[in-house]
Amino acid sequence: MQCSVSYNLNKGTLRGMHYQAAPHEEDKVIRCTAGSIFDVIVDIRTGSPSYGRWFGTRTHGRQSARTPRSKGLRPWLLTLADESEVLYMISPRYAPDCARGFRWDDPNIAIAWPMKPLVISARDAAYRMLDHGSR
């Protein structure tokens, strides 16, 4: 339904935990087309035994690997090189009223970032922590 490109000039740019709530939950495919990223997913499926847990991997431009995302698994990324570019294929269309997010530095998730984020948008910095009472 939607295809987006994120160009990130500086190494250390964090692209935060954005997602859409029901009934507009997203499926995504993410591909690093230039540069290098640390690609993270977090499970926010209520009732899931892995709720609040994360997985991260380094992905480099021009690799054939693609990172699929399913509903309830939310993506983040941190650029590891200047001039990194990421292609997103997203379904369904963006629904602003269903836009949500949570903090990249939530101590209950405790993502082991390979470097400290240097560039964080005001939107990403303003998100609250994930509600860990739902485990």
Residue 60 is a catalytic residue: no
Indicate if 88 belongs to the active site.
yes
Pairing of strands 13-15, 119-120: parallel
**For residue 86, what are the contacts with CB-CB under 8 A and spacing of at least 6?**
5, 6, 8, 15, 30, 31, 32, 33, 37, 77
* Six-digit token string for 7: 């160009």
Catalytic member of 88, 94, 127, 132 = 88
Which residue is catalytic, options 7, 18, 24, 127? Answer: 18
Q: Are 94 and 19 spatial neighbours (Cβ–Cβ below 8 Å)?
A: no
Q: Would you name the residues annotated as active-site residues?
A: 18, 88
